[in-house]
Structure 1
Amino acid sequence: MLLLFLKLEDRMAKDGNGMITLDREFCNVVHNPDDLNNFVYSELLTNMRNREWLCERAIVAPTNEMVGQINEQIMSRVEGDIVKFLSVDTVMDTEQVTSYPVEFLNSLELSGVPSHKLRLKVGVPVLLMRNLDAPRLCNGTRLQVTHLGRNIVKAIIMTGMAKGENVLIPRIPIIPTDLPFQFKRLQFPLKIAFAMTINKAQGKH
């Protein structure tokens, strides 16, 4: 990686305008999402048994919507049944219950908050969205799902100081702080991590 940066820096110095033209020495060009998915996750069913292989790759996209679409597309190639987990959403102030019906709360997609509808399969990589047991289980830790229970997800840590450890991830209450009202979402603090947003990908090893 250092060599790559040095080459880019040298090229910028020669161009003098800060613009870089990348050739195939630095990247592989694909022309549609399926080609990208197949290139990054080639022979997925065989290779995903290797956690090192799984951990060293991810597709980066600019929006949560694009990330969600890519994750669903790749998860459809994984063997096994999808297990769907629905959150329990409640308004904290009982006087506001009629103003914010459950259907509205369920529809909220907020940064750093797990979705109301979480779809998982055994074997898929996931990203932890909350600090549960620092420094072992921190926001941004990548794990691989090994078992899906009603109230517990079993997984193996793929990154950080506790790499290789088996852990249990419970449903936890999450209260967003950037809304004009307070509500609580009880859900697993996880999201699929075949793809992730650019800001989430920064610094994740």
Structure 2
Amino acid sequence: MLQDPSAETFSKQLLDIGDGKVAIDETGYVKLPTDFCTIADSQDTLIEQIFPDVHTQYINHEWLAERAILAAKNVDVDNLNLKIQMLLPGNLVSYKSIDTVCDDSEA
């Protein structure tokens, strides 16, 4: 994002929203500028717009690094992640981990 004008604009717009500098409409919602983000009518449409051909492009790390979907709630993030994972070839595998120290001397 360094020296990326669109990233700088997005960052400023996001800060303005967070700082309450953006007008709120009569319904109480913030009206986003048309160039602020991608508008989609469903999660599936959003995924297709942001990650087109993800089933073949997923191996291209640069392609992946240029894309992101921001969501306000973890439940939405989890749902989006699962939908995107289901588009990838191969079997879905979950790895479990625990973040604890067994012995104080290991800390």
How far is 1:67 from its partner? 1.4
Deviation of 1:46 after TM superposition, in Å, equals 2.4
Looking at structure 1, the residues matched to 80 and 12 of structure 2 have their Cα atoms a distance apart, in angstroms, of: 31
Corresponding residue of 1:80: 90
Measured against aligned partners, the alpha-carbon deviations of 1:95-133 in whole angstroms (never above 9, x if no partner) come to: xxxxxxxxxxxxxxxxxxx5xxxxxxxxxxxxxxxxxxx
Structure 1: gaps spanning 5 or more residues: 88-113, 115-172, 177-183, 185-205
Matched, 1:19 2:22: yes
Deviation at 1:77, TM superposition (A): 0.5
Deviation at 1:7, TM superposition (A): 8.1
Larger radius of gyration: 1
Q: What is the TM-score when the length of structure 1 is the normalising length?
A: 0.34
- Residue of structure 1 in register with 2:3 after alignment: none
Aligned-residue Cα RMSD (Å) equals 2.9
CA shift, 1:72, in A, is 0.8
Query: 66, 72, 77: which is aligned to 1:67?
Result: 77
Structure in which a larger fraction of residues adopt strand = 1
Selected match of 1:50 from 60, 67, 90: 60
Give me the whole-angstrom Cα distance separating, in 1, the residues matched to 2:52 and 2:100.
39
TM-score, normalization by structure 2: 0.60
Larger helix fraction of residues: 2
**Corresponding residue to 2:44 among 4, 12, 34:** 34
Unpaired runs of at least 5, structure 2: 1-6, 24-30, 103-107
Identical-pair percentage: 27
